[in-house]
Structure 1
Amino acid sequence: MGKSIDSPHFYMFWCFFRDLGIRLPFTQFECDFLNHVNAAPYQLHPNSWGFLRAFEVLCTVLGIEVSLLVFLHFYQLKLGVPPYGILSLNGGKGGGLFTLYSQSYKNFKQEFFRVALVDVNPMEDGAFYFGGLPKFPFYWCPKPSRFHGVDQSKLTAAELVAIKDLEALPRPLDCKFILSLERSAHRERDLESEYFAFDRSLDCLFFRFSSSFPLLFCRSYGKVVEGA
């Protein structure tokens, strides 16, 4: 699955589209992640792609900017057995955001296809290239880059607030449910009914925790208040 002399191409597993709602071209967030870990799309396990997609959907529903650094805060990368081991994301020290999409993704490698960029001019195409260079690695990378969370000093004030808000959620959130919100005409309402008790008079979300100290998220102020 290395680089060849025919049209530029990359491989994708069918379950990426069937289960996880991945679309082509990739979003900027997805391209940024693949570049950060130095990996082609098919080097990443489907469950890890599920984390990426669920993060994008969740941030969109909550009105949070989709930030690579915010995502990296919650995860770390586990390398597969060389030379062709699949990469996977695990929750960081503080835990991840989502459950696995599937507890058993058996035989997913048997259903794949090749995306060939036939007659595509790298200098003119904006879907898969930028400035004539691929937006992400097309071919298998033998030396992916591991990471364990993110350096807090690299985060902006807005990203620190986003992390605090996401950390306050009743994690882990159900990955399949979060992905289903993308197809919902009432995303906020569906999320609220699943995880929150919403007080519209205060424009606040009461998170449904099992602890004795509920958290209150006031959307009008954009912050979490403990013990509300």
Structure 2
Amino acid sequence: MAEEQTIASTSNTDGDDYAWVADEPRTTVSKFSLNGGEGMFRTIERSPANDWRACIPNTTRRICSKYQWGSFPMYQIAFEHMGYRLPFSDFEVAVFRYLHLTPSQLHPNSLAFIRAFEMTAAYLGFMPTIPLFFHAFHLQRSRPKGDAANKFGWVSLKQSVKLFEMFMESVRGFKDSYYFVKPLNSVSWQSVIYQGPAKDATGVPLVGPDGRQVLEDYSRFPLSWRRSHYQKPASDFIYSADELSVEELSNYEQMKVFVGGFPRKSYEDEQGNPVLDGTGVPVTKKTFIDTRRLLACKSVAEMEAFFRMLVIFCFNFIVLYV
């Protein structure tokens, strides 16, 4: 990482110019705006809370639009299939804040990686950190070709050492399945908004006529699509091994050893039979954490059972074949 990242969150005074956004996210209308919300997945928070509402955008709004202060757009796939719930965890907020991105600026496969990494760290007994995560994952930015080369689309995360399978090799149908989420009370409001000192254009805190510091609302992470992320090279967001603490290096090694201990998978033909090489030996491939199955876990107990099965299967494989 070349330098300390600046605060991603800003007040509600930003402009609304989205000419820099790639055509697809800038022009795609939400299907829920057109069908009255048919098929909307509305479970966006943990039961029994009633602090948030999934709202249908009007037909002039886009995924990259700025919504009412405190609200922000989300792709439905994050809630319906990836297990995201509001409020976001501290780690999720930290990732969005560090990247200067609102969640919908990240490709869905990358949103899946964030949760999968956090869940795996929890199972292995260590805290995920920004330096560790951005040592394990690098950035990949989508850029349109041709005349639109100066526009920006979704940002993706790419593993430096593969530990996780992609949630889906090709995520289809997500681009028009979005809505915005709105805080309904002080609890949900404070999970995305906080008050801090208002500052002038030079960064100097403002003081009112009474001598008291002027306060202003700030978001804990970007609530709309931001160009500021792209004003830094992707390499600025990455941590080298030299920048990690001893504990972080140890935790990353623990994760690699854990995944490296999984038994190899056999390739199968269309009938489900193992594919053999020229000598009759099954052709195999490395096994990684199944991100999609992991994110399907609906509780800590299910997550622990998922990982235990991997460990048990690995142990049985060793007993049978060593």
Query: Smaller-chain TM-score range?
Result: 0.7 to 0.9
RMSD of aligned Cα (Å): 2.9
Q: Which residue of the partner structure matches residue 12 of structure 1?
A: 74
Alpha-carbon offset, residue 159 of structure 1: 1.1
Q: Which residue of the partner structure matches residue 151 of structure 2?
A: 83
Q: Are positions 1:160 and 2:160 aligned together?
A: no
Secondary structure in 2 matching 1:105: coil
Task: Look up the equivalent residue of 1:113 and give its one-letter code.
Answer: Y
Secondary structure in 1 matching 2:112: helix
Q: How many residues align?
A: 199
Between the aligned partners of 1:9 and 1:109, the Cα distance in structure 2 is: 19
| C-alpha contact 1:98 1:174 (8 A) present in aligned 2 | yes
Task: Look up the equivalent residue of 1:136 and give its one-letter code.
Answer: F
Q: Are positions 1:65 and 2:181 aligned together?
A: no
Q: Say if 1:125 and 1:108 are closer, same or farther in 2 by CA, change over 3 A.
A: closer
Q: Are positions 1:133 and 2:199 aligned together?
A: no
Summarize the alignment of residues 180-191 of structure 1 with structure 2, pairs less than 5 Å apart.
180-183=296-299, 185=301, 187-191=303-307
Larger Rg: 2
Q: Which residue of the partner structure matches residue 39 of structure 2?
A: none
Range that drifts further, 55-64 or 124-133: 124-133
| C-alpha contact 2:81 2:295 (8 A) present in aligned 1 | no
Q: Which residue of the partner structure matches residue 113 of structure 1?
A: 179
List gaps (5 residues or longer) in structure 2.
Answer: 1-63, 144-149, 196-216, 261-286
Q: Per-residue CA shift, 1:120-140, capped at 9, x if unaligned? A: 69xx94311233421100111
Q: Say if 1:77 and 1:152 are closer, same or farther in 2 by CA, change over 3 A.
A: same
Q: Say if 1:187 and 1:19 are closer, same or farther in 2 by CA, change over 3 A.
A: closer
Secondary structure in 2 matching 1:185: helix
Secondary structure in 2 matching 1:20: coil
Q: Say if 1:3 and 1:68 are closer, same or farther in 2 by CA, change over 3 A.
A: same
Q: Per-residue CA shift, 1:111-159, capped at 9, x if unaligned? A: 10012346769xx943112334211001111232524641333322221
Task: Look up the equivalent residue of 2:227 and give its one-letter code.
Answer: P
Between the aligned partners of 2:308 and 2:184, the Cα distance in structure 1 is: 45
Between the aligned partners of 1:110 and 1:127, the Cα distance in structure 2 is: 27
Task: Look up the equivalent residue of 1:48 and give its one-letter code.
Answer: S
Task: Look up the equivalent residue of 1:173 and give its one-letter code.
Answer: I
| C-alpha contact 1:11 1:112 (8 A) present in aligned 2 | yes
Q: Are positions 1:99 and 2:215 aligned together?
A: no
Between the aligned partners of 2:69 and 2:98, the Cα distance in structure 1 is: 25
Q: Which TM-score applies when normalising by structure 1?
A: 0.75
Alpha-carbon offset, residue 193 of structure 1: 2.1
Q: Which residue of the partner structure matches residue 310 of structure 2?
A: 194
| C-alpha contact 2:66 2:72 (8 A) present in aligned 1 | no
Between the aligned partners of 1:142 and 1:149, the Cα distance in structure 2 is: 19
| C-alpha contact 2:183 2:189 (8 A) present in aligned 1 | no
Between the aligned partners of 1:135 and 1:197, the Cα distance in structure 2 is: 42
Between the aligned partners of 1:42 and 1:207, the Cα distance in structure 2 is: 41
List gaps (5 residues or longer) in structure 1.
Answer: 199-205, 215-228
Between the aligned partners of 1:189 and 1:12, the Cα distance in structure 2 is: 29
Between the aligned partners of 1:116 and 1:106, the Cα distance in structure 2 is: 26
Between the aligned partners of 2:92 and 2:66, the Cα distance in structure 1 is: 21
Task: Look up the equivalent residue of 1:156 and give its one-letter code.
Answer: S
Q: Per-residue CA shift, 1:195-221, capped at 9, x if unaligned? A: 4568xxxxxxx6968xx9x9xxxxxxx
| C-alpha contact 1:74 1:97 (8 A) present in aligned 2 | no
| C-alpha contact 2:72 2:182 (8 A) present in aligned 1 | yes
Q: Are positions 1:173 and 2:235 aligned together?
A: no
Between the aligned partners of 1:33 and 1:150, the Cα distance in structure 2 is: 13
Range that drifts further, 73-82 or 182-191: 182-191
Task: Look up the equivalent residue of 2:252 and give its one-letter code.
Answer: I
Range that drifts further, 155-164 or 18-27: 155-164
Q: Say if 1:7 and 1:187 are closer, same or farther in 2 by CA, change over 3 A.
A: closer
Q: Say if 1:39 and 1:172 are closer, same or farther in 2 by CA, change over 3 A.
A: same
Range that drifts further, 139-148 or 43-52: 139-148
| C-alpha contact 2:83 2:296 (8 A) present in aligned 1 | no
Between the aligned partners of 2:168 and 2:115, the Cα distance in structure 1 is: 14
